[in-house]
Amino acid sequence: MISDNRQIGFGLSAGGIAFMGLGILLFFDSRLIAIGNAMFFTGVILILGVQGTMRLFARCGFATIGLVAIEQLHHISLVHSI
* DSSP H helices in 26-59: 30-48, 50-58
Residue 56 has pLDDT above 60, yes or no: yes
Give me the pLDDT at residue 10, please: 92
Mean pLDDT of 60-82: 66
Q: Which of 70, 18, 22, 12 is nearest to 42 (CA)?
A: 12
Q: By the 8 A CB rule, do 39 and 14 touch?
A: no
Whether the pTM exceeds 0.85: the reply is no
Greater model confidence, 21 or 66: 21
Structural domain spans, the chain: 4-79
Residue 18 has pLDDT above 90, yes or no: yes
Helix and strand totals (H; E) in the chain? 4, 0
pLDDT tens per residue, range 27-47: 888 888 888 888 888 898 889
| C-alpha distance across the termini of the chain, in Å | 38
